[in-house]
Amino acid sequence: MRIELALIDSEHTERLGAALARCSPRSAAGALTVYLQGELGAGKTTLARGLLRELGVSGVVRSPSYTLLESYESAGLRILHLDLYRLDGAQDAGVLGWREEWTPGALFLIEWPERAAGAIPPADLRLTLSIAAQGRQARIEAATVAGATWLDALRGEPVIAEMNRV
C-alpha cells in the first residue's frame, strides 16, 4: 500500500503534514511512528511542522537537528520529533530516552531513521521525500495495520486528491 504525491511548494508539504495529523488513528493500541526519509533539505522538518501545527502545537517548531529530540504536548497527545542525522551509531539511540515515551497515545516523528536502524521504534508509516523538477515528490507507505488504516483515511482527504492531480 502506497501513495505518491507531487508537492509543488513548501506549503503543500505542510498541508500534507496537516492531513496526516487529521487522519491519524488515535484509537491505535500503541504509539504511532512515522519515519521521515529523504536527502538533506528534502522537506522532512517542513512536513513535521505542518503536522504539529494541525495538532495544535503553537509557537516555533524548531528542527531537532542539534538537540536530536524536541517534544510537545498537545490535545492530550505526546509528540516526539527526532532528527538522528548527527547520531553516532545505533548504540547512541539509547541515550535519547525514547523508550520511556513509547506509550499509547504517543506519536513519534523520526527524521533520518536509517542512522539508528533497529534501535528506534518500528515505522507505521514511511514517508519519503525527494527533490523533483518542481518542488518535491512524496511517497507514503504503510508498514503496519495501524499504518494501513492511516493511509486509507489519508486517501479520503480532499487535499490528497489535489496533490495527486498535479
Positions that interact with Mg ion (CB under 5 A): 44-45, 63, 111
**In the range 58-87, which residues lie near ligand ATP by CB under 6 A?**
63, 65, 83, 85
10 Å CB burial of residue 133 (0-12, 13-18, 19+) is exposed
Identity of residue 42 = A
Mask for 97-126, x = binds ligand ATP (CB under 6 A):
--------------x---------------
Report, in Å, the least distance between residue 69 CB and Mg ion. 13
Compute the distance between CA of residue 21 and CA of residue 62 in angstroms, rounded to an integer.
18
φ, ψ for residue 123, nearest 5 deg = -80, 140
User: Shortest gap between Cβ of 83 and ligand ATP (angstroms)?
Assistant: 6
Q: Which does 136 bind (CB under 5 to 8 A by kind): Mg ion, ligand ATP, none?
A: ligand ATP
Tell me the C-alpha to C-alpha distance, in Å, between residue 65 and each of 10, 44, 79, 85, 125: 19, 11, 16, 7, 21
Site for ligand ATP, rule CB under 6 A: 7, 9-10, 12-13, 38, 40-46, 63, 65, 83, 85, 111, 135-136
